[in-house]
Amino acid sequence: MATVGERREDWRGEEYVIRGVTALGASKAYRCPGCDQEVRRGMAHLVVWPASGSPESDRRHWHSTCWAARDRRSPGVQRSRSAPRY
Ligand SMILES: [Zn+2]
């Protein structure tokens, strides 16, 4: 897998490793967990995994825009967090 750069970001108290995948490196299609749409073959995107996890088994392929907007792109988690208490 051809990747470019690597950075770490905190998200919800956990540290994630983020790597860019070039268009040439995107030799397969993946499912983006942010929007549940396909990351098409040949599309530059990001591969992300928890720093405490394994890049082999825990990595997910995200559209770059979906990762950037991840807090808005996970309605399930957002909803449970902001759910009213009875
Ligand atoms: Zn996406």
State the pLDDT at residue 5: 82
CA of 38 from ligand 1 middle (Å) equals 7
Give the phi and the psi of residue 47 in degrees, each rounded to 5. -115, 130
Query: Is 0.85 surpassed by the pTM of this model?
Result: no
CA of 65 from ligand 1 middle (Å) equals 7
- For the ranges 11-15, 36-40, 73-77, the lowest mean pLDDT is seen at 73-77
Whole-angstrom CA distances from 67 to 8, 70, 83, 85, 86 are 13, 5, 23, 29, 33
Q: How, if at all, do strands 3-11 and 60-62 pair?
A: unpaired
CA of 68 from ligand 1 middle (Å) equals 10
| pLDDT of 81 over the 60 cut | no
State the pLDDT at residue 35: 95
CA of 31 from ligand 1 middle (Å) equals 8
Q: How far apart are CA 63 and CA 21, in angstroms?
A: 10
Averaged over 31-48, what is the pLDDT?
Answer: 96
